Structure 1
Amino acid sequence: MSTLRARYFARDPKLWPVFRDPGLSRLVESRRHHAPTAERLAAYPNGEHLLDALKADHAIPDGPRIPGEVHEPLLFAAALSKAWENPSSVENVVTMPCDPAIYGAMLGVAANPNLVYREYCEVAEELEKTVVRQIAQLVGYDPAEATGVFTQGGTFCNLYGYLFGIRKAMPDALHLGLEHGQDYRIINSQGGHYSNTTNLSLLGVNLARKTIRVRVTSSHDIDLKDLEDQLVACFRLNCLVPCIMLTMGTTDTFGVDRVKPVYDLCRQLTARFGLTTVPHIHVDSAVGWPLIFFLDYDFAANPLAINAATLASLHHNVERFRELKYADSFTVDFQKWGFVPYTSSLVMIKERASLQALEHDPENFSYFEKGTQGQTHFQSTIECSRGAAGLFGAYSALQYLGKRGYQMLIAHGLQNANYFRHRLAHTPGALVIAQQNQGPSVGFRLYDPAIVTDPVAELAFEKEFDDSAAHRERVTRNNAYHRDVFLRRGKHGLYTNWVQFVTNTGYSDTGAWHPLPGEKAVFMNPLTDHDHIDRFVARLHAT
């Protein structure tokens, strides 16, 4: 790890001359001082004055500035942006971008291709095809048949996933809308990202009547029995299911859905009910996708000397990610565990024919050359403009880090996460949620050790679905204790995040349930070490 850090995460101008720019050099230096968030403004020279001036600024300058002159408000805003390169920053599924990705993204910005149209991007289009082929090869898609689109974030990738299903199952929806024709239901999981729902709202889907949210298990993955029951109910009524949205790596506890059983179930049930439309399976793997770098890892030889506990859990998760090839499409967020700057997201598509379902009529694009339109994804994309900075950053990161570099970075994060789980397991009042998931995300709840002597039993009590006043009062007491500790602890060792849904109660007879809040840390930061974890645990209960 020390070599990886020095070569690819040090912002070293001797290795990456782009950081010799005076503005970038000052920015890097100012962000090396890892003050807690609340202290960063005071630590920045003249910070309070610069912030006041920025807030009061409302006029564009009359004349041009001297080229190369550092503009202080610009540098200040960059310097005081969230410092993901701080080793304590583990709040969410975000991490610092690596140096080669920054370099690649800057080349993409300077060239300024628009990937939506071949004449506007030329050879940059071939770079996109190259990354798509590389990811296809890695996951087990046929590189000659697969395709993909770089787009603006994981939410857009998941939006494409829904659209593939809708347009393939309900082709008239392109012109007549979703409420025309046959009845339908779109299925996702209660443990999925919020974009699973917001995208459907954006598409005009009636959330109350046209969506089914499948239950989750104690591991926060999709409940396959409930999924089967829901599909059977739909198919018995001749109700279409255009799309099933799965998740491989939930944000807060890294629940990983199985894909192959869903793939098999869809085909078995559509054959049983004589249906011609098989649901499109899209996997939101925005968080977990880098585990595909381990699909050909020699777990027996273990060349990276990954510790035994992490190796076993990694192997378990990799076996699940081996099933990603059965998805019709999936989300790749390079901007998360791929160490690439925002935004860099790719929707991978197993069969390029899926894009044909999204094609709009050629007459809608009258001011583009007809002969060029069909040579790209132009008529099928959501965007009229697709910037290439994310593509260039992703390609550069893949080329400089390589599979082995990614494996080392991923293993480092997973070993940190396991060490954190170990420390919490030996701390009174602490309980890891879905400990068996063993991903980079660690969700946990804290209880007052003076009151709760057995956190496992206490969580079991909380997870009972019980709307009685006594039950609500006890859960509320526990929630308040943890929330108060979280606020009093401050930023020490690790910067964690409060989440309103770190786990859930069981289900009532009618399927009702309640969320349970908690705290999470996500170990993707390549600069985080055990000493940061130790300092955090020492103040875990804000003592």
Structure 2
Amino acid sequence: MAEKKEILRWQSILQEKVQPAFLAPWEEEAKEEEFKNVVKETLRNINTLKGSKEDKKCFLGEPTCCISNEKDINEVKKMAEMPEKSTSVKEVMKEVVHYFNGMFNWVHPKTMFNVAPPAAIPSVMGNLMGSMFNPNLVEQEYSGNIAALEIESAAMISKLIGYDPIKATGHFTFGGTGAYLFAAKLAITKCLGKESRYFGIRKDAQILVSKVGHYAVKNCSDWTGLGMNNIRSIDLLEDSSMNLNHLEQVMEECYREGKPIAMIVATMGTTDAFGVDDINGIVKICDRFVKKHKLNKKPFIYADAVIGWAWSVFNSYDFRENPMEFSKDTLNAIKECKEKIKYLKLADAVGIDFHKTGFTSYNCSMVCIKNNSDLELLCRDKDQMAYLYQFSAYTPGEYTLECSRAGNYALAAWCNLKYFGLEGYRVLLGNLIESEKALRKVIENEPSMVCVNEKDHGSVTLFRVYPKEIRNRLDCDNFANVQYKREIGEEKFKEELRKNNEYQFKLAQEIQRMLFEENGPALSFTSSFKLTSYGEPIAAIKAYPMSPYMACYEEELKEDIIKFIFKAAKNLEK
């Protein structure tokens, strides 16, 4: 008879405390039930933080913030202690829920803080599966057939925007900045040659982007070593899109200075005003520029479409029949955007955020490359990675910045793309634009308010509110509109613009206080959504609906939003 071995202390802890924290490596019903119970209890705990439908509270739990200043941050550091002994999973999950107090509830219709959507359940489940089995998209061997999901997702997006899915490629990355950075590195390498990867950047290659292009361009020029001083800003048109005449002038300036243009960025939906650049026009200018100066290399065109890509779902929509029965205003807005978005296929690379208009959780971004042959410029030598790529057909880790890329990205995106399809995404976007149109009509009828991005057609609405004293001074009904036109068009009103910019900020502060203390709406503030004709920043309050539960009825919007704005303005008068 075999002698029974004594269980050592570490083995006891392993069996009783450590192993229960992991999923079973084989089918085991009891373990599955334990896991389901943990998930159910955690969900139950966090759901108790939501307010009732009648409360209309758009944040979770109590309005507390444990890091409101530097002293608080240091207190958190001092109090942080790793426990000596293991605790139960249920205790940990119960404790962590407290940190969700004060967190925005993105799915609530009164949460309009920014282009941050609620994550749809299919993407949540995809993420969960990725977290459970931990695929790494460095190569196929480490990610199994999840690698095929990345390939398939990239192909779906390629077809959607108009690329040839066989010639194109794409991979998921860490947010829009990751996509931008990859495109910038590829553009710089194409411009300066593969040798620049070994000897460094020795020429002042230029990146051209509109004045409202995302600040990620500075991160990318900095982190690639190109330098932030090699960014050139292009003026805007009234609709916040790039001024192509100025673009052409700047390109000629670059040529005269002997500085090659590495990349031109077409911003396809700015965060604040949903400005959409004309890629078709940019491409034509590039073609003329290359032909005129007999250049061997064409500037790389990157479409920063992290927000605007989703409007590609309308490329095949029947606008004449309008099967979704959108209102005339919404249909026209969608059509106008689609007419610019449909030219994404002309860009050399496109940046896409599923965690914005794709309705997945953070983070989930993709860079899609038109010609996969371009990637040869960025591939590393296989002998540098001796323990990888022995048996895989799919080896994106040879050219991606990351060595570790979670399969969660691909799982979340693929699940949403498959679940919603063209129909679902059309309805999601259409609902948000219907809501935006209703809100703008309400603002238009309020004498003290003016919409400042009325020519833009995304879901975001930017507006300014003016104090009553201006009505008395101007002696007219539509005083906000009159005052705003003065401020943006005539430099002699610069000080009034600055004063009213400060008023917008104070109003936004008061609205935020009311958010937590009076269940007000979650609106945000931008200090400069664009510049006046004389170069001054224009501040505005921002309503960015992203919830599928968003209201499209004017009376409801008055009750949930406008009422609080007026109350905030009245509070400032005291």
Which of residues 179, 200, 223 is equivalent to 1:177? 200
Which of residues 168, 171, 180 is equivalent to 1:149? 171
Aligned to 2:420: 401
Whole-Å separation in 2 of the counterparts to 1:334 and 1:150: 10
Equivalent pair of 2:432/2:545 in contact (CA under 8 Å): yes
* One-letter amino acid of the counterpart of residue 307, structure 1: S
Matches within 5 A, 1:61-76: 61-69=83-91, 71-76=93-98
Equivalent pair of 1:433/1:503 in contact (CA under 8 Å): no
Aligned to 1:292: 312
Identity %, equivalent residues:
26
Per the TM alignment, residue 138 of structure 1 is displaced from its structure 2 partner at its CA by: 1.1
**CA offsets 1:17-47 (integer angstroms, 9 cap, x no match):** 8996211232134235466578942699xxx
**CA offsets 1:300-339 (integer angstroms, 9 cap, x no match):** 1111110111111111111111111111111111101111
**CA offsets 1:123-169 (integer angstroms, 9 cap, x no match):** 11111000011111111110111100100101111111211210111
Report the 3-state secondary structure (helix = DSSP H, G, I; strand = E; otherwise coil) of the residue aligned with 1:136.
helix
Per the TM alignment, residue 362 of structure 1 is displaced from its structure 2 partner at its CA by: 3.1
Which of residues 189, 195, 202 is equivalent to 2:210? 189
Equivalent pair of 1:493/1:533 in contact (CA under 8 Å): no
Aligned to 1:444: 463
**CA offsets 1:33-71 (integer angstroms, 9 cap, x no match):** 466578942699xxxxxx999776422222223345563
Aligned to 1:92: 114
The alignment status of 1:521 with 2:543, answered yes or no, reads yes
Aligned to 1:389: 408
Aligned to 1:462: 487
Aligned to 1:27: 46
* One-letter amino acid of the counterpart of residue 353, structure 2: D
* One-letter amino acid of the counterpart of residue 161, structure 2: V
Whole-Å separation in 2 of the counterparts to 1:475 and 1:103: 48
Aligned to 1:501: 528
Per the TM alignment, residue 196 of structure 1 is displaced from its structure 2 partner at its CA by: 1.8
Aligned to 2:321: 301
Whole-Å separation in 1 of the counterparts to 2:60 and 2:422: 38
- TM-score between both structures, scaled by the size of structure 2: 0.83
Whole-Å separation in 2 of the counterparts to 1:398 and 1:366: 36
Per the TM alignment, residue 344 of structure 1 is displaced from its structure 2 partner at its CA by: 0.7
Equivalent pair of 1:27/1:79 in contact (CA under 8 Å): no
Aligned to 2:247: 227
How many residues in Structure 1 have an aligned counterpart in Structure 2? 509
Q: Structure 1 82/381 Cα, relative in aligned 2: closer, same or farther at 3 Å?
A: same
The alignment status of 1:353 with 2:370, answered yes or no, reads no
Equivalent pair of 2:326/2:430 in contact (CA under 8 Å): yes
The alignment status of 1:125 with 2:150, answered yes or no, reads no
Q: Structure 1 290/165 Cα, relative in aligned 2: closer, same or farther at 3 Å?
A: same
> Which consecutive residues of structure 1, in runs of 5 or more, have no partner in the other structure?
1-16, 45-50, 508-512
* One-letter amino acid of the counterpart of residue 463, structure 1: I
Whole-Å separation in 2 of the counterparts to 1:269 and 1:96: 44
Whole-Å separation in 1 of the counterparts to 2:92 and 2:496: 56
Equivalent pair of 2:51/2:57 in contact (CA under 8 Å): no
Whole-Å separation in 1 of the counterparts to 2:76 and 2:106: 23
Whole-Å separation in 2 of the counterparts to 1:173 and 1:533: 55
Whole-Å separation in 2 of the counterparts to 1:152 and 1:94: 16
**CA offsets 1:383-439 (integer angstroms, 9 cap, x no match):** 111011121111111111221111111100010011111111111121112211121
Whole-Å separation in 1 of the counterparts to 2:545 and 2:114: 8
Per the TM alignment, residue 370 of structure 1 is displaced from its structure 2 partner at its CA by: 5.4
Aligned to 2:129: 107
> Which consecutive residues of structure 2, in runs of 5 or more, have no partner in the other structure?
1-35, 66-72
Report the 3-state secondary structure (helix = DSSP H, G, I; strand = E; otherwise coil) of the residue aligned with 2:469.
coil
Report the 3-state secondary structure (helix = DSSP H, G, I; strand = E; otherwise coil) of the residue aligned with 1:387.
coil
* One-letter amino acid of the counterpart of residue 293, structure 1: V
* One-letter amino acid of the counterpart of residue 558, structure 2: D
Aligned to 2:5: none
Which of residues 331, 334, 350 is equivalent to 1:330? 350
* One-letter amino acid of the counterpart of residue 500, structure 1: S
Equivalent pair of 1:286/1:333 in contact (CA under 8 Å): yes
Equivalent pair of 2:137/2:396 in contact (CA under 8 Å): no
Whole-Å separation in 1 of the counterparts to 2:409 and 2:37: 18
Whole-Å separation in 2 of the counterparts to 1:38 and 1:290: 27
Moved more, 295-304 or 472-481: 472-481
Whole-Å separation in 2 of the counterparts to 1:232 and 1:241: 10
* One-letter amino acid of the counterpart of residue 97, structure 1: A
The alignment status of 1:247 with 2:272, answered yes or no, reads no
Aligned to 1:280: 300
Report the 3-state secondary structure (helix = DSSP H, G, I; strand = E; otherwise coil) of the residue aligned with 2:137.
coil
The alignment status of 1:538 with 2:538, answered yes or no, reads no
Question: Bigger radius of gyration, 1 or 2?
Answer: 2
Whole-Å separation in 2 of the counterparts to 1:79 and 1:459: 39
